């Protein structure tokens, strides 16, 4: 475990959840991830952000790193509106091999530059275990995307990394499978895992995926790990992102990850679901009004 990143606090859960069975004979197979074995919520410190504590943490930024101007201007805008962490993909998992695949190492350098300019820690995805050392050198949080959730050899290697891991639920992953994937990272020695619900594939076609908000209370009951929500990849359309960010806060998530682009119509990836900086600012105001109502820090 990365002891310096791991803090424990009183669980931020309802009395019913806190009463969940803790009898060791009932421990689930994901024993390190389970709340039954570790009742206190894990809080992961990244820069000045504490993920899993009382404060609702907002991660924002473009789908992909495209250029210094695009990244730094978006980073400055999200920072000014109150985001705590910057996102941006340098290695992109694209359905088509002909789509933009990311700037790779150059993208990582631009993320480091954006961190230098804004002070925001950065999260970026790893797809290939051969890139782990390079990515871990540049990133503050290493992301495992939905498509690699059951790449067990990658997960084992990330268990040896001294950086928090943002683990995204797969398109057809049950919550038990999700927690078993987290367990791979924990069992290999890295206790700093953040779970991210990002929508699952269902029969519905109105949205890109179906955001499974019920995953949040279920996961908060079953695990002590922080749980965040990514509405952008769930719905695929910018106009639906705001309502679901508010829903994520209301349902008890520890934070959200949202795609924001300085010019969504020109984005090389996921422009349709990316918020403009202006819409993001409005969303942050809506979230702080809601947080006040439900007595949550934002």
Nearer to ligand PEP, 157 or 198 (CB): 198
d(CA 84, CA 47): 9
Of positions 11, 62, 89, 242, contacts ligand PEP by CB under 6 A:
89
Q: Does 172 bind ligand PEP (CB under 6 A)?
A: no
Give me the 231-260 binding string for ligand PEP, x by CB under 6 A, dash otherwise. Answer: --x---------------------------
By CB under 5 A, residue 66 contacts Mn ion = no
Q: Which of 146, 193, 200, 225 binds ligand PEP (CB under 6 A)?
A: 146
Q: Give the Cα separation of 74 and 62 in Å (integer).
A: 7
**Rounded Cα–Cα distance for residues 291 and 296 (Å):** 5
Question: How far is residue 235 CA from its own chain's centroid?
Answer: 16
- How many Å apart are CA 74 and CA 64, to the nearest integer? 11
What is the C-alpha separation between 235 and 237, in angstroms, rounded? 6
Site residue total, ligand PEP (CB under 6 A): 10
Q: Is 10 exposed, middle or buried (0-12, 13-18, 19+ CB in 10 A)?
A: exposed
Return the one option of ligand PEP, Mn ion, none that residue 219 interacts with (CB less than 5 to 8 A, by type). none
Q: Does 168 bind ligand PEP (CB under 6 A)?
A: yes
C-alpha 247/C-alpha 253 separation (Å) is: 9
Q: Which of 36, 63, 90, 165 binds Mn ion (CB under 5 A)?
A: 63
Residue 157 partner contact from ligand PEP, Mn ion, none using kind-dependent CB cut-offs of 5 to 8 Å? none
CA dihedral 136, 139, 144, 145 (to 10 degrees): -140
52 touches ligand PEP (CB under 6 A): no
Cβ distance to ligand PEP smaller for residue 198 or 261? 198
| Selected binder of ligand PEP within 36, 57, 63, 186 (CB under 6 A) | 63
Q: What are phi and psi of 152, to 5 degrees?
A: -65, -30
What is the C-alpha separation between 196 and 293, in angstroms, rounded?
24
Encoded one letter per residue, x for contact with Mn ion by CB under 5 A and - for no contact, window 12-51 reads ----------------------------------------
3-state DSSP assignment of residue 148: helix
Q: Determine the distance from the C-alpha atom of residue 141 to the mean position of all C-alpha atoms in its chain, rounded to a whole number.
A: 9
C-beta of 36 vs 275, nearer to Mn ion? 275
- 125 binding Mn ion? (CB under 5 A): no
Does position 208 bind ligand PEP by CB under 6 A? no
Tokens of 169: 């639920």
Contact footprint for ligand PEP (CB under 6 A): 63, 89, 93, 125, 145-147, 168, 198, 233
């Amino acid at each position: 475990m990365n002891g310096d990143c791991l803090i424990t606090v009183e669980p931020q859960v309802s009395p019913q959840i806190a009463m969940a069975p803790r009898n060791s004979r009932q421990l689930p197979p994901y024993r390190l991830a389970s709340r039954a074995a570790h009742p206190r919520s894990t809080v992961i410190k990244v820069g000045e952000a504490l993920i899993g504590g009382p404060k609702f943490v907002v991660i924002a930024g473009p789908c992909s790193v495209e250029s210094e101007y695009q990244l730094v201007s978006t980073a400055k805008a999200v920072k000014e509106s109150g985001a705590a962490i910057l996102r941006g993909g340098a290695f992109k998992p694209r359905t088509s091999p002909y789509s933009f695949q990311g700037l790779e190492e150059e993208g990582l350098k631009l993320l480091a530059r954006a961190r230098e300019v804004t002070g925001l820690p950065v999260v970026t995805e790893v797809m290939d275990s051969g890139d782990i050392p390079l990515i871990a050198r540049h990133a503050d949080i290493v992301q495992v995307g939905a498509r690699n959730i059951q790449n067990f050899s990658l997960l084992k290697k990330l268990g040896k990394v001294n950086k928090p891991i943002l683990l995204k639920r797969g398109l057809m992953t049950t919550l038990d499978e999700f927690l078993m994937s987290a367990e791979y990272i924990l069992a290999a020695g890295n206790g700093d895992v953040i779970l991210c619900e990002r929508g699952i594939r269902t029969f519905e076609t109105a949205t890109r995926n179906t955001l499974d908000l019920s995953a949040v209370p279920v996961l908060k009951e079953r695990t002590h790990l922080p749980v965040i929500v990514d509405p952008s990849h769930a719905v695929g359309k910018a106009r639906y992102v705001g309502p679901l960010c508010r829903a994520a806060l209301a349902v008890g998530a520890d934070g959200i990850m949202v795609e924001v682009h300085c010019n969504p119509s020109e984005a090389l990836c996921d422009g349709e679901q990316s918020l403009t900086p202006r819409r993001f600012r409005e969303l942050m105001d809506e979230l702080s009004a809601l947080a006040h109502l439900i007595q949550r820090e934002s």
